[in-house]
């Protein structure tokens, strides 16, 4: 792409995108010609803008003589022109301050991360808790409910708590459930979920040759508890801030976006795709492949610990997002959450 654009075109494209990010109004040639580093007439700027539009970097709204960036324009800007900003000490302190509270559960700390992302960026913060499969086992408990149903409470090494209701394979007493919990907690503690699943399969194959009913029950219940993926809990903070953006004055677009926030499944799917990516990931508009968040961009980063916990956090805003200032916020928050998880597991 870069070979299509000379230095003048690059400067004008950069100026248009940065002005549009700040104003949300189509940018005209006269405004760009006034930039100190442009140094050409409005007529020359108009010619360059016409070329940039023909190449797909800009578009012309019907109601204005100015231009606005396209998704292609934003992508080129991010990949080739943008200079990522640096967080100030004050911004770092604002992100860190809520994590200094003692006694917070992991879920509460993740929710605080979402609040920090939203507050500092002025957009919507999203944080997805680690999937069960990416965690290390600490504790499991079975609680008897009615009609053969059992509540499973799973606690990861990092302190993340996840619940699931399963069906018993027959009548079972509270005493038996307690014995099963004690057995599993003794034999499985400290293993990854992948290791536990492998061990359960191996033990179930061996158990066919034995007559230990309690072992049979323990293997059955643990297999049911881990058979389907748990987790994917997502925290959305500052959703209403999206309404401050002029792009979302359209009622239908606003309803579609808030429906996505409420149902959360789409965001879980999207964040899942970034789970094993390195560094900060940026999805601009339709790059996410989800029409429900049309007109939005998503900036994400993973957080992790040495014990294998992996989750994702990020910021949702309009495609006109101030990428250079949001990227360091997302990156710093992810690294901070990783440090906190590491300390929780020590």
Percent of the chain with pLDDT over 90: 34
Weakest-pLDDT range from 39-53, 72-86, 134-148: 134-148
- Answer whether residue 315 shows pLDDT above 60: yes
Q: Are residues 259 and 341 in the same domain?
A: yes
Percent of the chain with pLDDT over 70: 88
Q: Are residues 98 and 247 in the same domain?
A: yes
CATH code of the domain in which 328 resides: 3.30.450.40
Weakest-pLDDT range from 81-85, 113-117, 164-168, 219-223: 219-223
- Answer whether residue 342 shows pLDDT above 80: no
Burial of 163 (0-12, 13-18, 19+ CB in 10 A): exposed
Pairing of strands 124-128, 68-69: unpaired
**Residue whose C-alpha is closest to residue 330's, from 269, 252, 273, 271:** 271
Q: Are residues 95 and 189 in the same domain?
A: no
Mean pLDDT of 299-321: 85
- Answer whether residue 230 shows pLDDT above 60: no
Domain span at residue 59 reads 2-81
Q: What total of structural domains would you count in the chain? A: 3
DSSP result, 121-148 = HSSEEEEEPPPGGGSBEEEEEEEE-STT
- Answer whether residue 152 shows pLDDT above 80: yes
CATH code of the domain in which 213 resides: 3.30.390.60
Listed in sequence order, the residues at least 6 apart from 343 whose beta carbon sits closer than 8 Å to its beta carbon are none
* Boundary-marking domain end, from 185, 208, 227: 227
- Answer whether residue 1 shows pLDDT above 50: no
Weakest-pLDDT range from 124-128, 253-257, 320-324: 253-257
CATH code of the domain in which 64 resides: 1.10.10.10
- Answer whether residue 254 shows pLDDT above 90: no
Q: Which residue has the tokens 């504790």?
A: 139
- Answer whether residue 69 shows pLDDT above 50: yes
Mean pLDDT of 84-103: 81
Q: Are residues 23 and 166 in the same domain?
A: no
Q: Are residues 45 and 125 in the same domain?
A: no
* Boundary-marking domain end, from 46, 81, 116: 81
Q: Are residues 239 and 340 in the same domain?
A: yes
More confident residue, 28 or 133: 28
Q: Are residues 151 and 208 in the same domain?
A: yes
pTM to 2 decimal places: 0.77
Q: In angstroms, rounded to a whole number, what is the distance separating the alpha carbons of residues 268 and 229? A: 13
Q: Are residues 112 and 255 in the same domain?
A: yes
Q: Are residues 14 and 63 in the same domain?
A: yes
pLDDT value of residue 212:
65
Q: Are residues 102 and 240 in the same domain?
A: yes
CB 282 within 8 A of CB 298: yes
Q: Are residues 119 and 19 in the same domain?
A: no
Pairing of strands 137-144, 149-156: antiparallel
pLDDT value of residue 36:
79
* Boundary-marking domain end, from 227, 261, 292: 227
pLDDT value of residue 79:
94
Q: Are residues 52 and 113 in the same domain?
A: no
Mean pLDDT of 174-201: 83
pLDDT value of residue 45:
93
């Amino acid at each position: 792409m870069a070979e299509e654009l000379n230095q003048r075109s690059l400067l004008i494209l950069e100026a248009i995108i940065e002005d549009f990010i700040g104003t949300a109004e189509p940018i005209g040639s006269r405004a760009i010609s006034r930039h100190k580093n442009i140094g050409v007439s409005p007529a020359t700027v108009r010619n360059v803008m016409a070329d940039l539009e023909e190449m797909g970097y800009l578009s012309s709204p019907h109601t204005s003589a100015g231009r606005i960036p396209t998704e292609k324009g934003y992508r080129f800007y991010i990949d080739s022109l943008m200079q990522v900003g640096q967080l100030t000490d004050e911004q770092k302190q604002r992100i860190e301050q809520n994590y200094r509270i003692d006694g917070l559960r992991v879920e509460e700390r993740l929710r605080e991360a979402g609040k920090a992302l939203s507050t500092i960026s002025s957009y919507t913060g999203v944080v997805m808790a680690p999937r069960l499969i990416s965690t290390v086992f600490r504790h499991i408990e079975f609680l008897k409910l009615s009609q053969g149903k059992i509540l499973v409470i799973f606690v990861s090494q990092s302190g993340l708590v996840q619940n699931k209701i399963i069906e018993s394979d027959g009548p079972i007493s509270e005493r038996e459930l307690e014995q099963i919990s004690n057995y599993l907690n003794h034999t499985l503690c400290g293993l990854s979920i992948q290791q536990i699943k492998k061990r359960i399969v191996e033990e179930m194959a061996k158990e066919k040759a034995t007559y230990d009913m309690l072992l049979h029950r323990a293997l059955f219940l643990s297999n049911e508890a881990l058979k389907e993926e748990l987790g994917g809990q997502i925290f959305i903070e500052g959703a209403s801030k999206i309404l401050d953006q002029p792009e979302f004055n359209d009622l239908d677009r606003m309803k579609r976006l808030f429906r996505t926030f409420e149902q959360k499944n789409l965001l879980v799917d999207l964040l899942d795709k970034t789970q094993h990516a390195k560094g900060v990931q940026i999805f601009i508009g339709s790059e996410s492949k989800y029409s429900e968040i049309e007109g939005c961009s998503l900036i994400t980063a993973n957080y992790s610990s040495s014990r294998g916990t992996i989750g994702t956090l990020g910021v949702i805003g309009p495609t006109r997002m101030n990428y250079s200032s949001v990227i360091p916020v997302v990156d710093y928050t992810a690294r901070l959450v990783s440090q906190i998880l590491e300390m929780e597991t020590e």
